[in-house]
Amino acid sequence: MALIVQKYGGSSVADAASIKRVAKRVAEAKRAGNDVVVVVSAMGDTTDELIDLAQQVTPLPPQREMDILLTAGERISMALLAMAIHNLGVDAKSFTGQQAGVITDESYGKARIIDVSPSRIATTIAEGSVAIVAGFQGVNPSTNDVTTLGRGGSDTTAVALAAALKADVCEIYTDVDGVFTADPRIVPAARKIDRISYDEMLEMAASGAKVLVLRCVEYARRYGVPVHVRSSFTSHPGTLVTDAPAPATETATDPATDPAIDPATAEGATMEQPIIAGVAHDRSEAKITVVGVPDVPGKAARIFEVVASAGVNIDMIVQNVSVAATGLTDISFTLPATDGAAATSKLTEHQPEIGFASLQYDDTIGKLSLIGAGMKSHPGVSARLFAALSEAGINIEMISTSEIRISVVTRADSLDEAVRAVHTAFELDSESDEAVVYGGTGR
């Protein structure tokens, strides 16, 4: 018997039939002897419809009222799900974020969780009932007003509740089978990852993998909550995000008896994490090039101060080698394309002071990231990555690396091809005979 927190997104509870299907799944988990807490998002397009209504009423809704409006969506889905579970003969009660003890700061629309005190939830499961909790919402204790957690808020609610209740696992139900070695829409041979570390999952999420949001993974890592990402349409296991070692049975091939395996790399593959977890991609960034910056100390810092003052986060940075004759250099950086207008207008405003010649804005870039905790101890990963891209005729515009990630910027229209080439080069394709070298079949 375990304590399980399950989270179902909007597409899993889009209509009455879907809600009944989810109810059946929850009832099964409960009947199997588990304590079950369910976090639920608003039904299907409800949130978008409410935003649309607000925009019909006013171009600039006060954020406090917007949060009150949007939280109606989860109120509807949580009550319907509780009813549907009750109809299957299993006791269930629904709770708002406030009733579940999700305490946040007062940043309406993007509140951060500052505490979780789920005493009503603990009482409810102790009584043998299933507790249904509205995702995406909490309460600002200084005013007793409802707040929303922003994008990915329901996943974060689920992980936060799992941490506070010391749940055995937090199951995130979604419309895909788990986390893949690459987006299967781009790489048909992509494989589902069975097990991934928090650090790798963080890098995947930060690099464009959409299945889990960054803050949810951060929360899970901080509190050591095992997160199981799985499909709400099948009962297959999905991807387990955890730092706990895999059970021995998960190693599909024994290196000692398989003559095809090089003992040097095989040891790494079985004793430690596999080298490569997957290939992520991101089309949401743009590149700004500040042309003709005086190559004197402090100019680059000033540029990034100005961009930061617009509330914009920068991702990758490249400074060209200065041309000695002119004393000028070019600085390029990437940023979310949605922040492009804010950053360029702020830079233009400070152009006289910084003294650059012009700005170039390019939103037709793509970013590919190769992620794997094993790469830090394996030389040659970069070389293999660049070779693969070169063989595919793809030009690299920018590069950045961390201990467990290498990211490159390409033209946006080359990105799909780049992802496929890299996925194949690192033998992540599901048909590859050598996958075990990179830990492929064991994941």
Rule CB under 8 A: which residues touch its own copies?
Answer: 16, 19-20, 23, 50, 53-54, 56-62, 64-66, 68-69, 71-73, 75-76, 78-80, 82-84, 86-87, 93-94, 99, 144-145
Tell me whether residue 25 or residue 192 sits nearer to its own copies (CB atom).
25
What's the min distance (Å) between Cβ of 75 and its own copies?
Answer: 4
What's the min distance (Å) between Cβ of 97 and its own copies?
Answer: 13
Positive or negative CA dihedral for 270, 272, 275, 276?
positive
Tell me whether residue 74 or residue 285 sits nearer to its own copies (CB atom).
74
28 is in an annotated binding site: no
376 is in an annotated binding site: no
175 is in an annotated binding site: yes
Question: Which two structure tokens, joined as six digits, stand for 389?
Answer: 């891209």
Q: Give the residues across from 336 on adjacent strands.
A: 285
* Contacts with 426 (C-beta within 8 Å, 6 or more apart), sequence order: 275, 276, 279, 370, 384, 385, 388, 438
Tell me whether residue 58 or residue 338 sits nearer to its own copies (CB atom).
58
Tell me whether residue 100 or residue 437 sits nearer to its own copies (CB atom).
100
Q: Say if CB 212 and CB 229 are below 8 A apart.
A: yes
112 is in an annotated binding site: no
What's the min distance (Å) between Cβ of 274 and its own copies?
Answer: 44
Query: What length is written for the chain?
Result: 443
198 is in an annotated binding site: no
9 is in an annotated binding site: yes
Tell me whether residue 148 or residue 197 sits nearer to its own copies (CB atom).
148
What's the min distance (Å) between Cβ of 114 and its own copies?
Answer: 21
Tell me whether residue 6 or residue 47 sits nearer to its own copies (CB atom).
47
Q: Say if CB 213 and CB 152 are below 8 A apart.
A: yes
Tell me whether residue 82 or residue 266 sits nearer to its own copies (CB atom).
82
Beta strands in 24-89 (DSSP E): 35-40
What's the min distance (Å) between Cβ of 278 and its own copies?
Answer: 38
Q: Say if CB 6 and CB 37 are below 8 A apart.
A: yes
185 is in an annotated binding site: yes
Q: Say if CB 208 and CB 369 are below 8 A apart.
A: yes
Question: Which two structure tokens, joined as six digits, stand for 7?
Answer: 């989270």
What's the min distance (Å) between Cβ of 185 and its own copies?
Answer: 32
Q: What are phi and psi of 3, to 5 degrees?
A: -100, 115
10 is in an annotated binding site: yes
Rg of the Cα trace of the chain?
A: 24
Tell me whether residue 92 or residue 179 sits nearer to its own copies (CB atom).
92
What's the min distance (Å) between Cβ of 54 and its own copies?
Answer: 6
Positive or negative CA dihedral for 424, 426, 204, 271?
positive
Region of residue 152 (left: phi > 0; alpha: psi -120 to 50; beta: else): left
Of the candidates 250, 205, 195, the residue with the CA atom closest to the CA atom of residue 226 = 195
CA distance 97 to 225: 20
What's the min distance (Å) between Cβ of 180 and its own copies?
Answer: 33
* Contacts with 170 (C-beta within 8 Å, 6 or more apart), sequence order: 4, 5, 7, 158, 159, 161, 162, 220, 225, 226, 227, 228
Amino acid identity at 328: L
- Give the residue ranges of the annotated binding site for ATP: 7-10, 174-175, 185, 210-211
- Give the residue ranges of the annotated binding site: 7-10, 47, 74, 174-175, 185, 210-211
